[in-house]
């Protein structure tokens, strides 16, 4: 690969020195009052709640006209905001307080992206990992299937190589007799965040997330590794409630950081501030914003751990959080921006790999290899096929319909 010269984009004419502070804390919810509601939706909450003000028929023509007007107005407003952000905010990324030296806005040139295609992607020197999970829970049995796929190019953009890994986990149901007795005695606890069902879902999601990263570092063999979502997700930083799982998670995340040649990509950001910055980028541009440390430190600080485990998790944050940078990139004018994460030693090559793979599908603007791995998993381990197998097993056991909901038995 060539020795990249990381020239700032025209959006940031000064050499970047220091990125905007931390990534958002997505877990925070705020109460809103009447003024905030009116500002957000353009009418009083009292009027919204008054169903007499609602339309009483399917006025399709009027609805289409109103929607067209709203969309046109929103696009015009967004275009004006985009120009303002490019002129006023993007140039500040390189001088924001406590920003790393890599912060700023850069442009990946067509020649650079061609070199990435020909030198890294198409020769199979980048492998992507993505997974899927399908669960089925009935009164006597809960079972989860987890599938993870590795994908790479096989010489040209339209050929791929895939490897898949599969695991089934059978869950032990709580005592159904006791649960029924609790209802009779009015001691039934409504299912919620603290329920065993919610915990089981967190663990299932955590195991799949862990498996993706474990396979990425242990089973992938390419020079570069491409992963989905943030490299240090909530499920792994907290251990999903299991301290044994926490130990394994911290180990695999640490090994990914030590490998260095990785890039993780998440789909379009939901946080409005990041989305606004990302939408201001031109096609082929990327912005390096900051380290991941300020985003993961509050997660670990607020989580509940067994004795001495919190300090171990905090040590992981201190040792590794500043080594991973996050930013945004735009693959095309038609697609939303994506968040990317990379080791600070290789952040510029990592960003170009993400952009180069994403421009192969400009309408989507997301890495093709991650989509291929996802499609492979869903084809081999999708929910429809999995539920079909479960139905067949129950039929052979003489109970084809008893333990299935009406949604699952619809023709």
Domain assignment present for 16: no
pLDDT above 60 for 253: yes
pLDDT tens readout for residues 278-290:
999 999 999 999 9
Between 52-61, 184-193, 240-249, 311-320, the lowest mean confidence (pLDDT) is in 184-193
Picking from 151, 142, 144, the residue whose alpha carbon sits closest to that of residue 166 is 144
Is residue 335 domain-shared with residue 209, that is, in the same domain?
yes
Percent of the chain past pLDDT 70, that is, above it, reads 69
Domain assignment present for 332: yes
pLDDT at 40: 76
Q: Which of 45, 80, 95 is the last residue of a domain?
A: 95
pLDDT above 50 for 19: no
CATH number at residue 314: 3.30.2170
Domain assignment present for 76: yes
Is residue 78 domain-shared with residue 104, that is, in the same domain?
no
Which one is predicted more confidently, 331 or 57? 331
Is residue 159 domain-shared with residue 46, that is, in the same domain?
no
pLDDT tens readout for residues 104-145:
999 999 999 999 999 999 999 999 999 887 666 555 555 677
Between 21-25, 209-213, 307-311, the lowest mean confidence (pLDDT) is in 21-25
pLDDT above 70 for 385: no
- Long-range contacts from 74-80, C-beta under 8 angstroms, 24+ separation: 78/279
**Number of compact structural domains in the chain:** 2
Is residue 62 domain-shared with residue 113, that is, in the same domain?
no
Alpha helices in 223-367, H assignment, sequence order: 234-237, 243-259, 272-279, 293-302, 309-320, 347-358
Q: Which of 78, 95, 112 is the last residue of a domain?
A: 95
Please count the residues of the chain: 411
Is residue 85 domain-shared with residue 169, that is, in the same domain?
no
Domain assignment present for 250: yes
Contacts of 17 (CB under 8 A, 6+ apart): 94, 95, 99, 101, 103, 104
Q: Which domain holds residue 278?
A: 98-395
């Amino acid at each position: 690969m060539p020795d990249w010269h990381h020239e700032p984009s025209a959006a940031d004419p000064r050499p970047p020195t220091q990125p905007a502070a931390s990534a958002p804390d997505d877990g925070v919810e705020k109460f809103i009052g009447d003024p905030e509601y009116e500002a957000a939706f353009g009418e009083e909450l009292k009027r919204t709640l008054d169903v007499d003000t609602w339309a009483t028929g399917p006025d399709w023509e009027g609805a289409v006209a109103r929607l067209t007007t709203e969309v046109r107005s929103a696009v015009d407003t967004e275009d004006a905001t985009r120009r303002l952000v490019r002129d006023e905010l993007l140039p500040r990324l390189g001088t924001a307080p406590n920003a790393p030296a890599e912060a700023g806005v850069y442009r990946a040139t067509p020649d650079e992206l061609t070199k990435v295609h020909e030198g890294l992607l198409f020769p199979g020197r980048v492998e992507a990992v993505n997974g899927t999970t399908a669960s089925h829970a009935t009164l006597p049995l809960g079972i989860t299937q987890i599938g993870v796929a590795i994908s790479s190019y096989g010489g040209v953009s339209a050929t791929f190589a895939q490897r898949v890994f599969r695991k089934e986990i059978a869950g032990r149901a709580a005592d159904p007799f006791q649960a029924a007795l609790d209802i009779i005695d009015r001691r039934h606890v409504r299912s919620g965040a603290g329920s065993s069902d919610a915990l089981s879902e967190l663990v299932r999601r955590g195991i799949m997330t862990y498996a993706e990263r474990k396979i990425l570092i242990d089973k992938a063999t390419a020079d570069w590794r491409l992963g989905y979502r943030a490299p240090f997700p909530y499920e792994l930083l907290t251990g999903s409630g299991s301290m044994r799982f926490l130990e394994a998670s911290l180990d695999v995340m640490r090994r990914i950081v030590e490998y260095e040649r990785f890039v993780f990509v998440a789909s379009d950001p939901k946080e409005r501030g990041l989305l606004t910055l990302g939408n201001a980028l031109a096609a082929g541009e990327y912005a390096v914003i900051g380290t991941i440390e300020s985003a993961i430190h509050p997660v670990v600080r607020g989580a509940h751990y067994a004795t001495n485990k919190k300090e171990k998790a905090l040590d992981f944050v201190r040792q590794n959080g500043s080594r991973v940078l996050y930013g945004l990139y735009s693959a095309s004018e038609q697609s939303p921006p994506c968040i990317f994460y990379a080791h600070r030693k290789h952040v510029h090559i990592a960003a170009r790999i993400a952009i180069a793979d994403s421009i192969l599908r400009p309408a989507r603007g997301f890495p093709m290899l991650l989509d291929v791995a996802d499609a492979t998993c869903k084809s081999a381990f999708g929910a429809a096929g999995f539920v079909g197998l479960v139905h067949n097993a129950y039929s052979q056991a003489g109970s084809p319909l008893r333990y299935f909901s009406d949604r699952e038995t619809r023709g």
